[in-house]
C-alpha cells in the first residue's frame, strides 16, 4: 500500500473541510434524510448556481456552495483511488456523505428548471 498515502491524506483534508461547512450549515450528519437531500442537491446543482453560491456574501449560502465543490473533489479522489486499486476513505463523515452521494446518484436527475 506504500505510495498511495496521498489518497488518504487528500480524503482526510477534504473531510475536515466538509465537516467545517457542515457545522456552518447546522448539518446533522446522523440525519440520513438531511444528508441525502444535501447530497442530491450537490450532485444535481447547475454549475452557474454553484458559482453564484460561492460568490454569495451570505456565509451559509457560500458554505453550501463550497460543500458542493468539495463533494465533487471527493468523488474525484475516490475515482482516482479506484483506478489505482485503492479504496479511499477518511472518517465517519466521509463514509456518511459517500453513501448519500452514491444513493443520490442512483436517483433520476431532476428536470431542468425544477427546484433550485
Which DSSP letter does residue 115 get?
-
- pTM to 2 decimals? 0.81
Query: 79 vs 11, 31, 62, CA distance in Å?
Result: 12, 26, 26
Residue 20 maps to a domain: yes
Residue 51 maps to a domain: yes
Dihedral angle of Cα 22, 16, 41, 80, to the nearest 10 degrees: -170
How far is C-alpha 85 from the chain's CA centre?
22
Residue 115 maps to a domain: no
Residue 72 maps to a domain: yes
Q: Domain range holding 11?
A: 5-105
Residue 87 maps to a domain: yes
The count of other CB atoms within 10 Å of the CB of residue 102 is: 12
pLDDT band of residue 25 (cuts 50, 70, 90) is very high
Residue 110 maps to a domain: no
Domain count, the chain: 1
* pLDDT beyond 50 at 6: yes
Residue 21 maps to a domain: yes
Residue 83 maps to a domain: yes
For residues 70 and 21, the answer to whether their CB atoms sit within 8 Å is yes
pLDDT in tens, 68-91: 999 988 888 888 888 888 787 778
Q: Is 51 helix (H, G, I), strand (E, B) or coil?
A: helix
Q: Comparing C-alpha atoms, which of 61, 62, 73 is closest to residue 101?
A: 73
Amino acid at each position: 500500500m506504500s505510495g498511495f498515502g496521498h489518497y488518504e491524506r487528500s480524503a482526510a483534508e477534504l473531510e475536515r473541510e466538509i465537516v467545517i461547512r457542515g457545522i456552518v450549515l447546522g448539518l446533522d450528519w446522523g440525519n440520513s434524510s438531511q444528508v441525502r437531500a444535501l447530497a442530491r442537491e450537490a450532485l444535481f446543482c447547475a454549475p452557474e448556481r454553484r458559482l453564484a453560491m460561492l460568490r454569495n456574501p451570505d456565509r451559509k449560502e457560500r458554505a453550501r456552495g463550497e460543500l458542493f465543490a468539495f463533494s465533487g473533489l471527493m468523488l474525484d479522489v475516490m475515482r482516482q483511488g479506484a483506478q489505482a486499486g485503492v479504496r479511499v476513505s477518511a472518517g465517519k463523515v466521509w463514509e456518511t456523505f459517500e453513501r448519500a452521494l452514491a444513493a443520490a446518484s442512483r436517483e433520476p436527475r431532476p428536470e431542468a428548471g425544477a427546484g433550485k
